[in-house]
Homo-oligomer: A and B are copies of this chain.
Amino acid sequence: MGDLLGVAVLGAGHMGADHIRRLGRVVSGARVAAVADPAAERAGEAVAGLDGVTVHTDPVAALDAPGVDAVLIASPGPAHEEALLAAFARGLPVLCEKPMVPDSTGALRVVEAEARLGRRLAQVGFMRRYDSEYRRLKALLDGGGLGRPLMLHCTHRNVSSPGHFSSAMLINSSVSHEIDAARWLLGQELTAVTVLRPRPSAHAPEGLLDPQFVLFETDGGALVDVEVFVNCGFGYQVRCEAVCERGSARIGDEHTMVVTTAGGAREDVAQDYLVRFAGAYDREVQAWVDATRRGEVTGPSVWDGYAASVVAEAGVRALETGGRVAVGLAPRPDLYAGVSR
């Protein structure tokens, strides 16, 4: 390995700025070469203290900036498709934040474009695959010692939701993580979805159906249930229990320092995904940088991004109709044979 990988970062918002910090100050082997954001000022702040970065308002200009070897897309979802296609046109490796493309039609166009190239260039940012607990669970399931997985019980809670959060976003923003995690853990595709709606919490914003309880069926006969509750008030909790034929395995229970005072024995609960999954983001980006420098593409593919879009759209319809909605995927190009692991 020789020179540092020069990365163009598209988007300098909350997530983009965090990736800029990570590329510039945490991971090894990379540097930020260019940043693009419609708000140039925000982009400038995000790269303060980093040398040799050019700042752009046009993402395409950032791709063509000097020293750019690869692209990290952290702009809003609707801008992803164009950015991905531009990167493909230039043969640039990409790490694209989720959702890869919000609508499944656009997502399919990205799949087809990469399939036409005949080789993978893009990795989608499903960072849970890089969380140490998820990886341990995946390894355990793949090892086969517990037998076939029968059910996954999942919990996804946030302290509170941003003001613009809609009932559909509980599915296509929050649960999209579980959609990918379930496909990856089980090595199966999701085939149908049903959404149950308990009476909303008094602490949910007016009109928001929160919590929801989402049920997925898989082509392997497994069942996946997800409690999603984005105004739970007490913490950021992501848990998963895999129930198998010969045992069960559970991750995500908080357990760090136990403090005992007159109120009882207490453990902190993470309040933010950037705390809970900080290590996962670091590992994801380090793995992407390392693979890219070796000339390889690993990690979740654009097919995974597309499948997540299709399932999320079915989930939103299930939420709206109250019934069970089947999931219909396009034929999978050979490039993406097998659910990616």
A234 at the interface (CB under 8 A from B): yes
Contact between chains at A248 and B259 (CB < 8 Å) = yes
- Residues of chain B contacted by A234 (CB below 8 angstroms): 246-248, 260-263
Q: Which B residues touch A132, using CB under 8 A?
A: 256
| Cβ-based interface call for A196 (8 A) | yes
Closest chain B residue to A323, Cβ basis: B324
Q: Does A27 contact B (CB under 8 A)?
A: yes
Contact B266 A246 (CB under 8 A): no
CB-CB under 8 A from A264, the residues of chain B are: 235, 254, 266-269
Say whether, besides A153-B153, A243-B227, A260-B235, A199 and B213 are in contact (CB < 8 Å).
no
Alpha-carbon gap, A248 to B222, bound state (A): 27
**Stretch with Cβ within 8 A of B (4 or more), from A8-16, A89-97, A143-151, A161-169:** A143-151
Tell whether, in the assembled complex, residue B199 and residue A221 are in contact, meaning their CB atoms are under 8 Å apart: yes
Asked whether any CB of chain B lies closer than 8 Å to the CB of A112, the reply is no
CB distance from A40 to the nearest CB of B (A): 22
Distance in Å: Cβ of A80 to nearest Cβ of chain B: 27
A29 at the binding interface (Cβ < 8 Å): yes
A291 close to B (CB within 8 Å): no
CA distance A233 to B286 in the complex (A): 34
Q: Which of these, B140, B246, B251, contacts A233 with CB under 8 Å? A: B246
- Encode A251-293 as 1/0 by CB contact (under 8 A) with B: 1011111111111111111000000000100000010001000
B247 in contact with A233 (CB, 8 Å) = yes
Q: Assembly of this chain: how many copies?
A: 4
Q: For A290, list chain B residues within 8 Å (CB).
A: 25
Instruction: For residue A192, give the distance in angstroms from its CB to the closest CB of chain B.
Output: 11
- The size class of the interface chain A forms with chain B is 35 or more
Taken residue by residue from 163 to 206, chain A's Cβ proximity to chain B (1 for < 8 Å, 0 otherwise) reads as 00000000000000000000000000000000010110111000
> Smallest distance from the beta carbon of A38 to chain B beta carbons, Å?
27
A139 (CB) vs chain B CBs: closest residue? B257
Q: Is A51 an interface residue (CB 8 A)?
A: yes
CB–CB B246/A259 < 8 A: no
A146 to B277 alpha-carbon distance, docked (Å): 27
Across the interface, name the chain B residue whose C-beta is closest to A210.
Answer: B150
**Smallest Cβ-Cβ distance to A149: which chain B residue:** B198
Question: How far is it, in angstroms, between the C-alpha of A262 and the C-alpha of B266 when the chains are bound?
Answer: 11
A196: chain B residues at CB < 8 Å are 215, 217, 223
Q: Give the residues in chain B near A201, CB-CB below 8 Å.
A: 147-148, 150, 245
Kindly list chain B residues whose C-beta atoms are within 8 Å of the C-beta of A223.
Answer: 196, 198, 213
B150 near A211: Cβ-Cβ < 8 Å: yes
Q: Which residues of B contact A140 (CB under 8 A)?
A: 257, 259
The reply to whether the CB of A50 lies closer than 8 angstroms to some CB of chain B is yes
A24 at the interface (CB under 8 A from B): yes
Within 8 Å of chain B (Cβ to Cβ): is A250?
A: yes
Closest to A231 in B: B245
Enumerate 17 A-B pairs (CB-CB under 8 Å) in ascending A order. A24-B28, A25-B290, A132-B256, A133-B256, A140-B257, A140-B259, A199-B220, A232-B243, A235-B262, A247-B262, A248-B259, A249-B258, A249-B260, A251-B257, A264-B268, A265-B267, A266-B267
